[in-house]
Amino acid sequence: MDFEIRYTADQANFRKEVAAWLGDNCPPEVINSEWIHTPPAIYERQRELGRKLGAKGWLYPVAPTEYGGGGLDTDSARVIIEELGKLGLNLPPYYDSGGVLGSMAILVWGTEEQKQKFLPPIYKGEVRTWQLLTEPSAGSDLAGVSTSAVRDGDEYVITGQKIYIGSDNGAEGFWTIARTGDPKDRHKNLSWFWIGKGTPGLSWQPMRLLGDQDKNTVFLDDVRVPAIALVGGENNGWKVASTHLELEHGFRTDIGSTLNEHKTLDRLIKHCQETVIDGERLIDRPGIRDQLVRLHTHAEVARVWGMRNFWMASQRKQSYEGSQSSYASKTHRMAMTRLIAELAGPAGMMRNGPAPAAEGELALVAEGAIGSSHGGGTVDIQRVVMSRRLGIGRAEGQSGAKLA
């Protein structure tokens, strides 16, 4: 086995090229900027960087060139991700779950005409998309959505309500799943639609969630979309959604996200090294050291699983591992929250005042942990996915959704 990603001379040169290009093109105010709560002025600069990356094919580097992607190999894509990471940025440099996840579903299920129409604007960074999936009465049971889409001539008319959507600063394109068939035909009564920018009848209201997250409630009132907006055929939407959710549940071809556990932990360790309470460094207390090492161990597992998942995804061999990692990181964040309170004391939950632990960073992580344990599928849903893939109580494990 070899756990090291080894770059060729060409890729090393490519890294230099990417770094130099970012040096020339990345607006300074975007570096280390927030992914959520992004002030509009900063957000505009993030989008500007996105369009520039898109023009080079670096926004969606492994996507096919015929639809505006970069057509690069996964190693080169990782070079871009790593170089952006050095600037504190993700790829894309703004929140675009609908683009990342939704574009895969189009690649798998779209017609040639749909790929030509929908993919280039995403890959070029011209539209940012939200995924309109969860509803007030359909959360974990996504197949139970009640938003309806009714055929009317060459159009579909979509009506319903979606919740916990996107982030701030809006979006220009939307994926949604709606019911087109008999309510009794579970999993065979859904269809997947694209809703373009400015379509009448679509509106949203910001909602505040625990952990200071910005999400939205989206209303669809007789939203008319052309027939070409139906992806994957009528009543075939569950399969399209499954491709989408395969990525949502942790199938990843990058390993960057797995370093987050260590990032917060390192911050907590630093805090415990620098903070003296009752005349003693926090980290010198045996009980605290022991708990920090336990978390370090969890973070190491998350890191190694991230590499495993990356390897398996690149070999198209991944089955339950994505959900396993997702489950682990969600529960790990909750454990981390508990430990922040335990170790950093009340200062760990402060965002201001004379002595917020780690300048308030720990409080932000702690606040976000509960919300992120639900987003993209609850902890329990990850367990359900794992159970099915492993074939617990079944003759054999289920295979993953279709991917391009």
Partner 1 sequence: MNLDFTQEQDEIRDGIRKLLRGIADDALLIGLQGKETGYLPAIWGGLSEGGWHGVVIPEEFGGFGLGLGDSCVVFEEYGAGPLPHLYFTCAGVSPYFLMEAGTDAQKQRLLPSLADGTMRVTVAAAEVEASWTGAPVKTRLEEHDGRLLLSGEKMYVPDALGATHALVTAKTASGGTALVMVDLAAAGCARELLRSFSCWETRLAFDGVEVSADDVIGGIGADAAPAIARAISRAIPGLAAYQVGSSQSAYTLALEHSRTRIQFGQPVGRFQRVQDHIVELINHLDSARWLTYETIWQIEQDKAGSQTAIHTLKALVADSHWEACNASHEVHAGIGADMQYGLAKHTHLSHTLFHFLGSPSWHRDRVAVTLGW
Residues that bind partner 1 (CB under 8 A): 1-6, 269, 273, 283, 286, 289-290, 292-294, 296-297, 300-301, 304-305, 307-308, 310-312, 320-321, 324, 327-328, 380, 383-384, 386-387, 390-395
Rank residues 81 and 231 by Cβ distance to partner 1 and give the closer one: 81
CB distance 117 to 66 below 8 Å: no
Q: How far is the CB of 292 from partner 1 (least distance, A)?
A: 7
Quote the CA–CA distance of 330 and 325 in Å, as a whole number.
Answer: 8
b/e map 62-77, b = 16+ CB within 10 Å = bbeeebbbbebebbbb
Rank residues 127 and 255 by Cβ distance to partner 1 and give the closer one: 255
Rank residues 45 and 252 by Cβ distance to partner 1 and give the closer one: 252
Residues facing residue 193 across a β-bridge: 176, 230
Q: How far is the CB of 170 from partner 1 (least distance, A)?
A: 38
Residues 6 or more apart in contact with residue 92 via CB below 8 angstroms: 50, 53, 59, 99, 100, 125, 128
Quote the CA–CA distance of 386 and 321 in Å, as a whole number.
Answer: 8
Residue 333, judged by CB atoms within 10 A of its CB (0-12, 13-18, 19+), counts as buried
**How many beta carbons lie within 10 A of that of residue 296, not counting itself?**
15
Q: How far is the CB of 196 from partner 1 (least distance, A)?
A: 40
Question: What angle is formed at CA 272 by the lines to CA 270 and CA 278, rounded to 5 degrees?
Answer: 145
Q: How far is the CB of 150 from partner 1 (least distance, A)?
A: 36
Q: How far is the CB of 386 from partner 1 (least distance, A)?
A: 5
Rank residues 231 and 292 by Cβ distance to partner 1 and give the closer one: 292
End-to-end CA distance of the chain: 27
DSSP structure class, residue 156: E
Q: How far is the CB of 357 from partner 1 (least distance, A)?
A: 17
Rank residues 200 and 286 by Cβ distance to partner 1 and give the closer one: 286
CB distance 383 to 327 below 8 Å: yes
**How many beta carbons lie within 10 A of that of residue 157, not counting itself?**
18
Rank residues 167 and 382 by Cβ distance to partner 1 and give the closer one: 382
Distances (CA, A) of 286 to 269, 280, 343: 14, 11, 12
DSSP structure class, residue 349: G
Quote the CA–CA distance of 360 and 368 in Å, as a whole number.
Answer: 13
Q: How far is the CB of 253 from partner 1 (least distance, A)?
A: 12
Rank residues 152 and 300 by Cβ distance to partner 1 and give the closer one: 300
CB distance 140 to 385 below 8 Å: no
**How many beta carbons lie within 10 A of that of residue 22, not counting itself?**
20
Rank residues 207 and 293 by Cβ distance to partner 1 and give the closer one: 293
Q: How far is the CB of 396 from partner 1 (least distance, A)?
A: 9
Q: How far is the CB of 403 from partner 1 (least distance, A)?
A: 19
Q: How far is the CB of 324 from partner 1 (least distance, A)?
A: 6
Rank residues 301 and 364 by Cβ distance to partner 1 and give the closer one: 301
Rank residues 64 and 256 by Cβ distance to partner 1 and give the closer one: 256
